[in-house]
């Protein structure tokens, strides 16, 4: 497992050691001990989630507040997505900045998004199956979000705006400036 730091403290791109032969492949997708040794973070995942989406589906930017905040380890099982993490930690020197990582079924790359970040992704292939582990249980009362096209954040989603497919709920999310006073990170 090779772990690459990003410009956002606590966000890591994980390149797994992949073993393939004529039978198929094998890789260890997570090892808590190795992750702790390489990042200094001791994460215990308690919930796994999976979604399937078509080209242009954009999910995000989502987060959970306070005690319900979640760290996520995300990867793509099928297809290709652009995955985004936005730093919402008010005291962070990178508050409001984001990292974008392309995740594909062939790369087997994973992205670790710590607590205190908004997270989202857009599907860049005909279909994608997206899988993620969470270190805290989902709590509807603690959910929040930031609008995907907030000019203050300036994310290039790598897809034409007219091809984006979103939920009604995600289309009415506030900007970072509008949400800043309600953030509990």
My answer on whether omega of the bond before 152 falls inside 30° of 0, hence cis, is no
Contact call for residues 73 and 109 (beta carbons, < 8 A): no
State yes or no: is 98 an active-site residue.
no
**Is residue 132 annotated as a catalytic residue, yes or no?**
yes
- Strands annotated E in 37-183: 47-54, 58-64, 72-78, 80-87, 98-104, 109-113, 117-123, 127-134, 143-145
Which of 15, 25, 62, 138 is flagged as catalytic? Answer: 62
Among 118, 79, 86, smallest CA distance to 102 is for 79
Catalytic one of 98, 108, 119, 132 = 132
Cα pseudo-dihedral 67, 68, 73, 79, rounded to 10: -160
Enzyme catalytic residues: 62, 132
């Amino acid at each position: 497992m090779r772990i690459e730091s990003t410009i956002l403290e606590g966000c890591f791109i994980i390149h797994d050691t992949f073993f393939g032969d004529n039978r198929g492949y094998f890789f260890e997708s997570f090892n808590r001990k190795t992750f702790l040794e390489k990042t200094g973070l001791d994460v215990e995942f308690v919930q796994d989630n999976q979604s399937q989406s078509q080209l242009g589906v954009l999910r995000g930017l989502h987060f959970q507040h306070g005690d319900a905040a979640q760290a996520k380890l995300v990867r793509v099982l099928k297809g290709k997505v652009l995955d985004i993490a936005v730093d919402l930690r008010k005291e962070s020197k990178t508050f409001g900045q984001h990292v974008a990582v392309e995740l594909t079924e062939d790369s087997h790359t994973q992205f670790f998004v710590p607590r205190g970040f908004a997270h989202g992704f857009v599907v860049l292939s005909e279909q994608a199956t997206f899988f993620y582990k969470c270190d805290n249980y989902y709590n509807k009362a603690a959910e929040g979000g930031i609008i995907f096209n907030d000019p203050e954040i300036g994310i290039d989603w790598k897809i034409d705006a007219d091809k984006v497919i979103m939920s009604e709920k995600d289309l009415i999310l506030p900007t970072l400036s509008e949400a800043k006073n309600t953030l509990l990170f």
